[in-house]
Amino acid sequence: MAIEGWYANTVFILRWFHILFGIIWIGHLYFFNFVNIPFQGVLEKDLKPRVNPLLLPRALWWFRWGAMLTFLFGWTLLFVKYSGGDLWKDAATGMMSHRAMWILAGALFGSIMWFNVWFVIWPAQRQIIGWVKAAQAPPEMPALAKRAALFSKINTYLSAPMLFCMIAPNNYGSINAVTFIVVLAISMVIVAHLYKISTKVGTTI
Ligand code: HEM
């Protein structure tokens, strides 16, 4: 097989795995934010220590390892696709191409999200679940729970523009400040609406 064939197939497989793990990660992020938050709001207090230590560690496992593999496949894909230079530079101007700008913005959003999962949300949740399992509720627990919830919310808001930036290089093309701001604004409106309806939807069959 010609070298171009190997290259195209490698990039394709990397992208496939990248998106597969991205779905696992972001699917769980949405489960936590649009299903679990409203659910915890109506779950009886005495049931929480029985339900949560069985449910949340499982969901958090898929969540954090999905994030890790998406991140690793994403940066590998970026390196493999863009390090050659052809996609990185605009042939006409010699400047950075618009698709490179899109993917750098997406990679930045995605990497901030990955950092929040591994260095804020997961350590906080691990600590909280440990306390719940041991039937302890130290005074620092509410602040830690708030911190985890805040960063989870930040990630949910970032996920919409991040996804736009991921699909833009191959399907959209041009980038400018107005487009970027419009994408951010539409994303915020959509996510805020999803939060709003999440307390009401699915409560009846
Ligand atoms: C964590 C950091 C991430 C990095 C560094 C990254 C990097 C990349 C790169 C380099 C590409 C190829 C772009 C191109 O073909 O020009 C890509 C594509 C893509 N990424 Fe990511 N990504 C990240 C996170 C995510 C996440 C969380 C998702 C959520 C599902 C995601 C979804 C996608 C999709 C759907 C594509 C396919 C675009 C297309 O073929 O049109 N990425 N990503």
* pLDDT reading at 130 higher than 70: yes
Bridge-partner residues for 96, per DSSP?
A: 89
pLDDT given for residue 86 in this prediction: 87
Ligand 1 midpoint to CA 10 (Å): 15
The residue with tokens 């793990």 is 21
User: For ligand 1, is residue 98 a contact (CB within 6 Å)?
Assistant: no
* pLDDT reading at 137 higher than 80: yes
154-to-86, 107, 167, 202 alpha-carbon distances in Å: 34, 16, 21, 24
User: 157: which 2 tokens?
Assistant: 């808001």
User: 129: which 2 tokens?
Assistant: 């679940």
Short-list 114, 144, 139, CA closest to 127:
144
Ligand 1 midpoint to CA 66 (Å): 13
pLDDT given for residue 190 in this prediction: 98
pLDDT given for residue 138 in this prediction: 97
C-alpha to C-alpha distance for 5 and 87, rounded to whole angstroms: 18
pTM score, two decimals?
Answer: 0.94
pLDDT, one tens digit per residue, over 35-54 is: 999 999 999 999 999 999 99
Ligand 1 midpoint to CA 90 (Å): 20
Bridge-partner residues for 89, per DSSP?
A: 96
**Cβ contact 80:11 at 8 Å:** yes
The protein residue with its alpha carbon nearest to ligand 1, atom 38, reads 167
C-alpha to C-alpha distance for 121 and 131, rounded to whole angstroms: 15
Burial (CB < 10 A; 0-12, 13-18, 19+), residue 83, is exposed
User: 125: which 2 tokens?
Assistant: 């949740």
The residue extents of the domains of the chain are 3-198
pLDDT, one tens digit per residue, over 165-189 is: 999 999 997 899 999 999 999 999 9
The protein residue with its alpha carbon nearest to ligand 1, atom 18, reads 166
Q: What is the dihedral of CA 149, 159, 107, 175, to 10 degrees?
A: -140
C-alpha to C-alpha distance for 205 and 9, rounded to whole angstroms: 45
Burial (CB < 10 A; 0-12, 13-18, 19+), residue 91, is exposed
